[in-house]
Copies of this chain bind each other. A is one copy, B any other.
Amino acid sequence: MKEAFMFSQRMAQLSKALWKAVEKDWQRWIKPYDLNINEHHILWIAHHLKGASISDVANFGVMHVSTAFNFSKKLEERGLLTFSKKEDDKRNTYIEITPAGDDLIFDLMEQYNPESNLVFSGSEPLREVFGKFPDLAELMTIIKNIYGDDFMDIFETSIHNIERDFDEENGELKRAERPQTSG
């Protein structure tokens, strides 16, 4: 009981401190685009999960369904998302990112600057010692136990998809799947 309580306090303090640093980094990063964290998170999910339902967005974005819906609506008004229904599933609302939304996601990736990122800077010494970024295996296991396998699958997919957005050879971003205008 004492151990459990001490562990849960430890987790509470650590996770609050980590999240506040992540939140500060995230807000600073997206500020020029007049987005809040939830809006950017929804766009990010829509970029990685082609044809996500609002409930997928809520689950994977760890937000209320109403939050997911309301901010998606704002993104739709800005032309960054479109809403749709499926023929075989009239109950759920699906969102799809527009080319303007994808552009915004790519712009932000281009502007990402690790040097100004608290969490990156805090992890850099570990990378110098171990030759790679920490894999946080314990934390991953805890999240998996709380949120389930589907959550982790989508999580891993979205991380691996990032590789798809970078050119293998020169490491630069490729704004893929977009028809090239002939020059």
* Residues of A in contact with B (beta carbons under 8 Å apart): 1-22, 25-26, 41, 62, 109, 112, 114, 117-126, 133-136, 138-147, 151, 155, 158-159, 162-163, 166, 171
A41 to B136, CA, bound (A): 26
Asked if A19 and B21 make an inter-chain contact with CB atoms under 8 angstroms apart, the answer reads no
Asked if B17 and A143 make an inter-chain contact with CB atoms under 8 angstroms apart, the answer reads yes
For A144, the closest partner residue in chain B by CB is B122
A7 to B141, CA, bound (A): 17
Residues of B within 8 A of A16 (CB): 19, 22, 41, 62
Which listed residue, B6, B122, B146, touches A145 by the CB 8 Å rule? B122
Residues of B within 8 A of A155 (CB): 13-14
Asked if B136 and A119 make an inter-chain contact with CB atoms under 8 angstroms apart, the answer reads no
Which listed residue, B20, B122, B162, touches A5 by the CB 8 Å rule? B162
**In the complex, how many angstroms separate the beta carbon of A50 from the nearest chain B beta carbon?**
18
Residues of B within 8 A of A125 (CB): 141, 145
Residues of B within 8 A of A138 (CB): 126, 134-136, 139
A17 to B162, CA, bound (A): 19
**In the complex, how many angstroms separate the beta carbon of A112 from the nearest chain B beta carbon?**
5
Which listed residue, B124, B133, B142, touches A122 by the CB 8 Å rule? B142
Asked if B162 and A6 make an inter-chain contact with CB atoms under 8 angstroms apart, the answer reads yes
Which listed residue, B3, B8, B121, B163, touches A2 by the CB 8 Å rule? B163
Which listed residue, B17, B119, B171, touches A11 by the CB 8 Å rule? B119
Asked if B121 and A1 make an inter-chain contact with CB atoms under 8 angstroms apart, the answer reads no
For A171, the closest partner residue in chain B by CB is B2
For A40, the closest partner residue in chain B by CB is B12
